Amino acid sequence: MKVLLTGGRGMLGRTIERVLGDRFEILATDLPEADITDEAAIDRVIALAKPDAVIHCAAATAVDACEERVDFAFRLNARGSANVAAACHRHGVRLIAISTDYVFAGDAPRPYTEFDRPTGGATIYGQSKFAGEEQIRALCPNHCICRVSWLYGFGGPSFVHTMLKLADGTRPVLKVVADQVGNPTSAIAVAEHLALLLARPKLCGTFHLTCEGEASWADFAREIFRVAGRTQAVEGCTTDEFPRPAPRPKNSRLEKMGLRLAGLPPMPAWQEALKMFMEKEFGYGS
CA distances from 118 to 9, 70, 122, 132, 198 (A): 29, 19, 11, 12, 25
Residue 231's CB is within 10 A of a number of other CB atoms, namely 9
Rounded Cα gap, residues 270 and 137, in angstroms: 30
Instruction: Please count the other Cβ atoms lying within 10 Å of the Cβ belonging to residue 169.
Output: 8
Active centre residues (catalytic): 125
* Number of CB atoms found within 10 A of residue 110's CB: 9
Largest interatomic CA distance in the chain: 57
As a whole number of Å, the end-to-end CA separation of the chain is: 33
Q: Are 126 and 74 in contact (CB under 8 A)?
A: no
Please spell the DSSP secondary structure of 91-133, one letter per residue. Answer: TT-EEEEEEEGGGS-S--SSPBPTTSPP--TTSHHHHHHHHHH
